[in-house]
Chain A
Amino acid sequence: MTINTKYVGKAPNRVEGPAKVTGTAKYSAEFEVPNLAYGVVVSSTIAKGRIKSIGADKVLALPGVLQVFSHENVPRQAWFDRAWKDDIAPGGSPFRPLHDDEVKFSQQPVALVVAETFELARYAAGILEVEYKEEKHETDIEQKRDEGHAPGKGKSGYKPPKSRGNANKALDEAEHRIREEYIHGTQHHNPMELYASTVHYHPDGKLTIYDKTQGVYNCQQYVAKVFGLSKDDARVINLYNGGAFGSGLRPQYELFLSVMAALELKRSVRVTLTRQQMFSIGHRPHTLQTLEMGTNPDGTLAALKHYCLHETSRFEEYTENVVNWSGMLYQCDNVHLSNQVAALDVYTPQDMRAPGAATGSFALEVAMDEMAYAAGLDPLDFRIRNYAETDQSENLPFSSKRLRDCYHLGAEKFCWSKRPMAPRSMREGNRLIGWGVAGGVWDAQMNKASAKATITADGYLTVESAAGENGTGTYTIMTQIAAETLGLPLEAVTFRLGDTNMPEAPVQGGSWTAATVGTAVQKACQALGEKLLKLAQKMDDSPLKGASLDDVEFVNGQLRLRTAPEQSVVLRDVLQTSGEREIAADSTAIPNLINMAKYSMHSHNVVFAEVMVDEDLGTVHVSRVLNVCAAGRILNQKTARSQVLGSVVWGISMALMEETVPDHRFGRYMNHNYAEYHIPVNADIHNIEVLFVEEEDPYVNPLGVKGIGELGLLGVAAAITNAVYHATGKRVRRLPIYLDKLL
């Protein structure tokens, strides 16, 4: 029987799909462990001040309540900040739960009540009386316009923006100019799964920790340093993550609290946050941006200035690359970029899907639309006129860039040429129709990762690496890569992830997992292939004697000569002849630093959106979205498309619905629940089309992939905002576009 083992680029179903649709996939709060106690967190009701008292006695008197942990009885932990710093921590002093009586932000965890049952712990937490001494707080970035400062370089991945030319002079001399401010409020990741940790306390005092995280190794080193444990004593596992979007890049406080309680009580403990508490674990910061642009008489950009101010906490200096993208998306010789932060009495913001770029692309791409209209140019034509052939911000060629093809393909599919330029020129009854375009650019990153491949005598391959599965398709694409590398059917391959007993992988973020873990998986399988070749050459009458690894290929369960495919051996025969029960190989993949120095590596996209705005009610209906992405090679058409479909839903949400609304009198988020924090429901989503313009990129990484998790979000909110302008003639510069802004 011939089987096709070329999987990369195809669209197989998710290999973990059957577990997810039948409910057998285990998330962090779902592991059964013996003698489990339940912890419920008590959150502060003030934004800033001191805890005067914790009324633990009354609660402890309830039969079944095991302990009330607070700053009054928290056991001693690591002293220095460096012990509390995780891999993703920005500069500053990380938050230490229950550390002392100081309240630094609203909903700060101030106590953990542990009881024999969840219901009892919840009841006891609900009646725990905490008295505070309030101090004056500041939570509004819009009151801090003059107090911004340039952040330090403490956050990994943060690049201070680079300016070039003389933007002020070029603006003065420009033919047409615009200057506007763009704002979006705070947003929270809100994955469907609540943050939770189940800590299994073993009789020998060792811990197995099932935590909701995007990085099991990051959590392990955090727990080990904070509690002074050896890594052998703290195994961290995450097999399925019920959504994260960046919220699980850093260890969250349920991890600290559950481990602390388990160590103190010497028994297993589970802590699950409430949906309300999901608004206390990091957020996309409330951000103010100002764009200035000017054009030359020929419609090329003469100057571009992009200034950003966003919030951070008092104790950490969180920063985002908001303005940098404006220095590389379009050709412009005079660019001034500036990025500032100001500290507030809020929790430290945290990377949220396409951090910085989702924010920056909104402002840049609405400003580009405004500039196009000021110059009397079609917004797509204006972008094509200012196409960046090289990355001017780094003065490097792109490793690959097919954005121009995305523009043309998208325009054709969307029938962009039929768009009348003037706003309010299309309608259907009382619905005003508008078309908008926008796009973005995102880093194609790769990090260091390791993987191990093991094949057993029955020809079954297992590959493992401590990566994460947030719904991104990691299980599936790694299975595809491994199966194709060793020429095996998908059913004969299992990829395992999410366990600190496996080879190390970095946190799952930045759209780098496909490139990072994928390359490690490929290398480990190639190393295993080399061992198999040697064994095959030891067989009697082996047709492969003298062949090098480059001379052979693994196809359809066979190892054969590339030049003479009929000269082959069956892999299973090789294994059985060898007498080995299993053969294993491991490998570590690192990025190619030479290529990184020679090329700018980025993915690009363009989004076309159609909206229908009810003229009487101001409601916006997004009837059509087309997202065209150039992100290198696509490993799985199905899972990659789903990532972009999901991104479009996020973009619709960012444009029209999503905002965490604070009441600054209390320094508190008021809509901290799923009923009042609006995200799209099924009825809000209509026609979405995703197209990939594949790029051949020999420089970016051995697989030629650029990652797709963040890119699809870029430009969506701007395309919708621009479409709303085209429909109504009203330019909205503060998201979300609630209907009052259109009436």
Chain B
Amino acid sequence: MSNSATPNTTDSPALAPPATSPVTLRINGSDMTLQLAPWTTLLDALREYAGLTGTKKGCDHGQCGSCTVLVDGKRINSCLTLAMLHEGAEITTIEGLGQEDNLHPLQQAFLDHDAFQCGYCTPGQICSAQGLINEGRAHTEDEIREMMSGNLCRCGAYVGILNAVKEVVDAQTARRQ
């Protein structure tokens, strides 16, 4: 059998890295053109190319939820998707939800309920909570616990996270009624 079909053996040179090209992403309401290779994840594009380090890397394997962002309103793990797949989509990161002098209701609720300690999982938790609210599915405490379970918190701030999300979910429900 010929070896020609297996390019990456010990004797052959390594495959060259892919070339970059301009990729325009719509992040937090503004267009941003980045020079990216196809193998760059959305997470790395945000952190290393767009300077938006609010989105966190905790595992790079879709296991912890720290990198959760909203794409067209849906929560996704940005480490599990490639940046160039999201041209034309509306990407929202923690920086787009609110600022220190203009906190989003979820950010304020996280602050008031001390729903974090080290703060590293927090942007992902908040984006996930916004995604959950957009889904309109969670109402009871058990539903919120279950549907926020894709976001790990090693400090163990789950009681505060539940109370913070519940407060905002309840306020939105009350407003709709």
State which of A78-86, A258-266, A677-685 sits at the interface with chain B. A677-685
**CB of B48 closer than 8 Å to a CB of A:** yes
Q: Which residues of A contact B103 (CB under 8 A)?
A: 18, 21-22
| A118: chain B residues within 8 A (beta carbon) | 44, 48
The answer to whether B159 touches A685, judged by C-beta atoms less than 8 angstroms apart, is: yes
List residues of chain B with CB within 8 A of the CB of A185. Answer: none
Provide the bound-state CA to CA distance between A673 and B59, in Å.
Answer: 8
Contact of B158 among A16, A192, A649 (CB under 8 A): A649
B158 with A62: CB separation less than 8 A: no
Q: Mark A253-289, 1 if CB is under 8 A from B, else 0.
A: 0000000000000000000101100000000000000
Contact status of A30 and B53, CB under 8 A, knowing A18-B100, A20-B122, A275-B60: yes
Checking B56, B61, B154 against A679 with a beta-carbon cut-off of 8 angstroms, the contacting residue is: B154
Residues on the A chain within 8 Å of B108, using CB: 21
Q: Mark A458-474, 1 if CB is under 8 A from B, else 0.
A: 00000000000011110
- B93 and A23 form a contact (CB under 8 A): yes
Q: How far is the CB of B125 from chain A (nearest CB, A)?
A: 9
Closest to B93 in A: A23
Closest to B52 in A: A23
Q: A21-B122, A243-B154 known; A13 and B111 CB under 8 Å?
A: yes
B56 & A192 in contact (Cβ 8 Å cutoff): yes
Given contacts A21-B103, A682-B149, contact A642 B118 (CB under 8 A): no
**Mask of B85-99 contacts with A, CB within 8 angstroms, 1/0:** 000000001110111
B157 within 8 A of A: yes
* Contacting pair A193 B56 (CB below 8 A): yes
A26 near B: Cβ within 8 Å? Answer: yes
CA distance A190 to B64 in the complex (A): 11
Q: Are A673 and B63 in contact (CB under 8 A)?
A: yes
**Residue A428 at the chain B interface, CB threshold 8 Å:** no
B112 and A13 form a contact (CB under 8 A)? yes
Is the beta-carbon distance between A642 and B160 smaller than 8 angstroms? yes
Whole-angstrom distance between the alpha carbons of A633 and B50 in the complex?
A: 45
Also in contact, A22 and B95, with CB within 8 A (given A13-B111, A192-B66, A241-B118) = yes
| Proximity string of chain B (150-164) to chain A, C-beta cutoff 8 Å, 1 when within and 0 when not | 111111111111100
**Tally of chain B residues near chain A (CB < 8 A):** 68
CA distance A124 to B44 in the complex (A): 17
Which of B60, B114, B159 is in CB contact (< 8 Å) with A13? Answer: B114
B36 to chain A, nearest CB (A): 9
In the complex, chain A residues 616-658 whose Cβ is within 8 Å of any chain B Cβ: 638-639, 641-643, 645-650
Which residues on B sit within 8 Å (CB–CB) of A58? 13-14
Interface of B is mostly: loop
Residues of A contacting B51 in the complex (Cβ-Cβ under 8 angstroms)? 32
Please, what's the 1-or-0 string for B109-121, where 1 marks a CB less than 8 Å from any CB in chain A?
A: 0111010111111
Smallest distance from the beta carbon of A687 to chain B beta carbons, Å?
9
Q: Contacts A193-B120, A681-B152, A683-B149; is A18 near B159 (CB within 8 Å)?
A: no
Interchain nearest-CB distance for B158 vs A (Å): 4
Q: Does B74 contact A (CB under 8 A)?
A: no
Residues 12-51 of chain A, each 1 if its beta carbon lies under 8 Å from chain B, else 0: 0110111111111111011010000000000000000000
Give 1 or 0 for each of A174-205: 1 = CB within 8 Å of chain B CB.
00000000000000001111100000000000
Residues of chain A lying within 8 A (CB to CB) of residue B59? 275, 673-674
CB of A134 within 8 Å of the partner chain: no
- Tell whether A646 pairs with B151 under 8 Å between CB atoms, given A58-B14, A471-B119: no
Establish whether residues A21 and B126, one from each chain, have CB atoms under 8 Å apart when the complex forms.
Answer: yes
Residues of B contacting A646 in the complex (Cβ-Cβ under 8 angstroms): 117, 155-157
Pairwise interchain contact A243-B54, C-beta atoms closer than 8 A: no
Residues of B near A591 (CB, < 8 A) are none
Tell me if A55 and B159 are in contact (CB < 8 A).
no
CB <8 Å contact, A192 and B64: yes
In the assembled complex, which residues on chain B have CB atoms less than 8 Å from the CB atom of A650?
A: 156
Query: Could you tell me if B156 and A685 are in contact, using CB atoms closer than 8 angstroms?
Result: yes
A35–chain B nearest beta-carbon distance, Å: 14
Q: A23-B54, A23-B94 are in contact. Are A685 and B17 (CB under 8 A)?
A: no
Q: A55-B10, A683-B149 are in contact. Are A119 and B61 (CB under 8 A)?
A: no
A243 to chain B, nearest CB (A): 4
Q: With A and B bound together, what is the CA distance between A675 and B63 in angstroms?
A: 6
Interface of A is mostly: loop
CB distance from B101 to the nearest CB of A (A): 8
B116 to chain A, nearest CB (A): 6
Q: Does B130 contact A (CB under 8 A)?
A: no
Q: Report how far A76 CA is from B155 CA in the complex, Å.
A: 40
Q: Chain A contacts of B110 at CB under 8 A?
A: 17, 21
Q: Is the CB of A674 within 8 A of B64?
A: yes
CA distance A223 to B132 in the complex (A): 45
A192 to B125, CA, bound (A): 12
* Of the residues A117, A120, A192, contact of B118 by C-beta under 8 Å: A192
Q: CB of A148 within 8 A of chain B?
A: no
Complex: A63 Cα to B116 Cα, angstroms: 43
Q: Are A63 and B118 in touch, CB under 8 angstroms?
A: no
Contact B154 A645 (CB under 8 A): no
Given A17-B111, A675-B61, A682-B145: A22 and B98 within 8 A (CB)? Answer: yes
Judged by a CB distance under 8 angstroms, whether B55 is at the interface is yes
Q: In the complex, how many residues of chain A place their beta carbon closer than 8 angstroms to a beta carbon of chain B? A: 72
**8 A Cβ contacts from B17-69 to A:** 17, 37, 39-40, 44, 47-48, 51-61, 63-64, 66
Distance to closest chain B CB from A276 (angstroms): 9
Q: How far is the CB of A38 from chain B (nearest CB, A)?
A: 8
Q: Tell me the smallest distance from the CB of A30 to a CB of chain B, in Å.
A: 4
Query: Shortest Cβ distance from B54 into chain A, in angstroms?
Result: 2
How far, in whole Å, are A117 and B17 apart by their CA atoms in the complex?
11
B123 within 8 Å of A (CB atoms) = yes
Q: Among A19, A241, A688, point to the contact of B159 (Cβ < 8 A).
A: A688
- Given the complex of chains A and B, what is the CA–CA distance between A681 and B122 in angstroms? 14
**How far, in whole Å, are A646 and B159 apart by their CA atoms in the complex?**
9
Structural contact, A61 and B145, CB atoms closer than 8 A: no
Contacts of B152 in A (CB 8 A): 192, 674, 679, 681
A684 to B153, CA, bound (A): 12
Chain A neighbourhood of B142, CB < 8 A: 683
Cβ of B5 within 8 Å of any chain A Cβ, yes or no, is no
**A residues less than 8 Å from B57 (CB atoms):** 29, 194, 272
Which residue on A lies nearest to B54, using beta carbons? A23
B16 CB, nearest partner CB in chain A, Å:
7
| Cβ contact within 8 Å between B154 and A14 | no
Please report the C-alpha to C-alpha distance between residue A188 and residue B79 in the assembled complex, in whole angstroms.
Answer: 23
Tell me the chain A residues, 1-20 only, with Cβ under 8 Å from chain B. Answer: 13-14, 16-20
Cα separation A685 to B142 with both chains bound (whole Å) = 10
- Tell yes or no: A739 within 8 A of B by CB: no
Quick one: which of B48, B55, B118, B142 has the most chain A CB within 10 A? Answer: B118
Which of A32, A190, A682 lies in contact with B148, CB distance below 8 A? A682
Chain B residues with Cβ below 8 Å from A14 are: 111, 114
Say yes or no: is A59 at the interface (Cβ < 8 Å to chain B): yes
Contact across chains for B100 and A674 when beta carbons are under 8 A apart: no
A69 at the interface (CB under 8 A from B): no
Q: By the criterion CB–CB under 8 Å, are A472 and B117 in contact?
A: yes
* Interface pair A471/B66, CB less than 8 Å apart: no
Q: What 7 pairs across the A-B complex have the smallest Cβ distances?
A: A23-B54, A649-B156, A471-B117, A242-B120, A20-B119, A471-B118, A646-B156
Chain A to chain B contacts (Cβ below 8 Å), 19 pairs = A21-B123, A22-B99, A23-B54, A23-B55, A23-B123, A63-B17, A192-B152, A193-B56, A194-B57, A243-B155, A244-B118, A274-B60, A646-B155, A648-B156, A650-B156, A682-B144, A682-B153, A683-B145, A685-B162
Residues of chain B touching chain A, judged by Cβ–Cβ distance below 8 Å, are 8, 10, 13-14, 16-17, 37, 39-40, 44, 47-48, 51-61, 63-64, 66, 93-95, 97-100, 103, 107-108, 110-112, 114, 116-123, 126, 142, 144-146, 148-162
Starting from the known contacts A470-B117, A638-B114, A681-B150, 20 additional A-B residue pairs (CB-CB under 8 Å) come to A23-B54, A30-B47, A58-B14, A62-B16, A64-B17, A117-B48, A120-B17, A123-B39, A192-B58, A192-B64, A194-B58, A243-B117, A243-B120, A275-B64, A643-B117, A645-B159, A675-B63, A682-B144, A682-B148, A683-B146
